[in-house]
Structure 1
Amino acid sequence: MGVKSFLKLVEIQTKVASIIPFILGTVYTLYRYDDFNVKNFLFMYISLIAFDMATTAINNYIDYKKAIKKHGFGYEVHNAIANFNLKEGTVVFTIFILVLVAVAMGLILFINTNYILLILGIISFGVGILYSFGPVPISRMPLGEIFSGFFMGFIIPFVSIYIHRYNKGLIDMNINLSQLIVKFDFLEVIIIFLISLPAIVGISNIMLANNICDIEDDIENKRYTLPIYIGKEKSLKLFKYLYYIAYINIILSIIFKILPITTILVLFTLIPIKKNIDVFFKEQTKKNTFIFAVKNFVIINSIYILSILPGLLLK
């Protein structure tokens, strides 16, 4: 397998969906808590990117194996295995190596922190694999948007904060012979969820846009996603309103001093975001307009992260 085919197999351009939430959690850690653990940061980054590549490769492999419709844009061009005529054994071995690296780095991270991180890691790895694998993968159900948004948009920022705060009372767990006691700072967890909402919304809408574009093909391939259940019109309305929820959340977070005043700059992204929404409403295709959902995610969240940075100086 060459470099080009590997990068296509793991869809390297989509890794922004995990890296941006990771950076968001890291920047917010510096802003709110003034904490930073270099070793844990590096271990998590390697584990995260390796596992993200592995799950994408698994998804492409399962789509290749289960595809009923084997023609059209979504197959010969989009699927790397068909496009580069990759051997199945090579693809499986690549997935195995990526998962091995992700697990190894995750175990080192657990050794450096505590059992909470181990539990979160196991759950996240499990969901990541079940997203594309198993008798009924999550991606083939009307739950893909919820799972991808929650785990990539919230759990990644949460863990990227927790690796620096694992011994500061954010979540504590005590185990003895008769009891398992878990304590967590409810207010801080809610705050982390709120600051993660732009990432949650952006990632959910990437999945939603993908499924809207694939409605016809998904029906043929027996993938019963959310847009198939609620229809294209309601799916498009949901796509639009989710972005507005993110903007309202940022305004409220500034008012309640969860975010620095400088994050008001994110509101200026509403202009290009609205234009991209309008373009997507006119045409929903994987080839021409799906990219606008990815662009929206990058625009909102990159400006969001950059706007938090001046808050470090003002603080």
Structure 2
Amino acid sequence: MKKFFELVELRTKVASIIPFFIGTVYAVFRFQEFHVYNFGLMFLSLLSFDMATTAINNYYDYHKAVKTRGYGYEVHNAIVKHKMHPSRVLSLIIALLLIAIGAGIMLVVQSGLLVLLLGGLSFAVGILYSFGPIPISRMPLGEIFSGLFMGFVIIFVSTYIHVGDALASLTLQGGVVSLNVQLLEVVLIFLISIPAILCIANIMLANNICDMDEDIENKRYTLPIYIGKSNALLLFKLMYYASYADLIVLYFLGVNPLILLLVLCTVIPVHKNVMRFAEQPTKRLTFSLAVKNFVLSNVARIVALGIAVLLM
């Protein structure tokens, strides 16, 4: 199990599970809807697919690595560290994908075609993120794709599976596809997703900042390589502060309840972690601070929104 957890990097699954819970609590808060069967299916599909894409990323890096000594390669890649047999890793990836697809199909049956569209698109981006001629993770687009799909799309779908047509509907009848969108509600979900989007993008950005030397050797041309380390660190700081500004704006727009302003208290430890990372951006010592910041600020949002639900 230890090898498996390292291969799929279980500790990083918070980046998909936390947005899932944000969307769930938001559905209860705004629409007073919750469907436990849909909740369980999406949780299973989401977690399985997230683990599969991470395993694919490690598998692809194992085969594509140019520099196989130094930079901690022997430690960072679980396949190398534990001397895993590549064919067994591939079998595990296929099993995880089958579980994710099976649960996803059952969720489509329960929730409708829009879940199929968004789920299929998410699956495609997840696979292309780590696989293909030029994976997204090897381009300066990783932060954008990871932030939007893991931040916004997961929150949207995890809200939609509970409320359905109150958000949107996609129907196919007589060869005609019809999409109806409650535009205001979708915009509001995007706005409440911004802190998750930015914090998830920062996890990817922090990872790429730490790996700049190794990425140059292995021909991974990520965003920090294009804009330089100093600009990447500045962007890293600004995205955190923008996520807190979004909370304040949403309160004045009447979207967030007053209690969510308590999340602003987390800005102090988050700021300290940002400064520590900027001083010494390394995988071994400070990368985990980006994950901690994401968990700290977004779990605080879930707790505050949950309290608001109980006070309704």
Q: What interval of TM-score do these two structures reach, taking the shorter chain for normalisation?
A: over 0.9
Runs (4+) of structure 1 exceeding 4 A deviation are none
Instruction: In structure 2, list runs of 5 or more residues that go unmatched.
Output: none
Whole-Å separation in 2 of the counterparts to 1:64 and 1:79? 7
Residue of structure 1 in register with 2:108 after alignment: 110
Whole-Å separation in 2 of the counterparts to 1:220 and 1:72? 11
Whole-Å separation in 2 of the counterparts to 1:176 and 1:111? 16
Question: Is this contact kept in 2: 1:73–1:287, CA < 8 A?
Answer: no
TM-score, normalising length from structure 1? 0.97
Residue of structure 1 in register with 2:154 after alignment: 156
Whole-Å separation in 2 of the counterparts to 1:74 and 1:195? 38
1:228-307 pair list within 5 angstroms: 228-307=225-304
Whole-Å separation in 2 of the counterparts to 1:98 and 1:310? 35
- Residue 191 of structure 1: which of 188, 193, 197 is its match? 188
**Which amino acid is the alignment partner of residue 283 of structure 1?**
Q
Whole-Å separation in 1 of the counterparts to 2:49 and 2:21? 17
Asked whether 1:221 is paired with 2:218, we answer yes
1:61-89, Cα deviation, whole Å (9 max, x unpaired):
00111111112344111110000000011
1:70-89 pair list within 5 angstroms: 70-89=68-87
> For this pair of structures, how many residues does the alignment match?
312
**Which amino acid is the alignment partner of residue 81 of structure 1?**
I
Question: Is this contact kept in 2: 1:30–1:312, CA < 8 A?
Answer: yes
Whole-Å separation in 1 of the counterparts to 2:175 and 2:223? 43
Question: Is this contact kept in 2: 1:74–1:286, CA < 8 A?
Answer: no
Whole-Å separation in 2 of the counterparts to 1:84 and 1:262? 47
Question: Is this contact kept in 2: 1:51–1:99, CA < 8 A?
Answer: yes
TM-score, normalising length from structure 2? 0.98
Identity over aligned pairs, percent: 53
Asked whether 1:124 is paired with 2:114, we answer no
Residue of structure 2 in register with 1:172 after alignment: 169
Report SS of the residue matched to 1:174. strand
Report SS of the residue matched to 1:259. coil
Whole-Å separation in 1 of the counterparts to 2:140 and 2:22? 27
**Which amino acid is the alignment partner of residue 269 of structure 1?**
T
**Which amino acid is the alignment partner of residue 198 of structure 1?**
P
Instruction: In structure 1, list runs of 5 or more residues that go unmatched.
Output: none
Residue of structure 1 in register with 2:48 after alignment: 50
Whole-Å separation in 2 of the counterparts to 1:146 and 1:86? 32
TM-aligned CA deviation for residue 282 of structure 1: 0.7
1:249-292, Cα deviation, whole Å (9 max, x unpaired):
00111111211110111111110011111111111111111111
Residue of structure 2 in register with 1:28 after alignment: 26
Asked whether 1:308 is paired with 2:290, we answer no
**Which amino acid is the alignment partner of residue 295 of structure 1?**
K
Report SS of the residue matched to 2:66. coil
Residue of structure 1 in register with 2:134 after alignment: 136
Whole-Å separation in 2 of the counterparts to 1:113 and 1:291? 36
1:120-140, Cα deviation, whole Å (9 max, x unpaired):
111000000000000000000
TM-aligned CA deviation for residue 113 of structure 1: 1.4
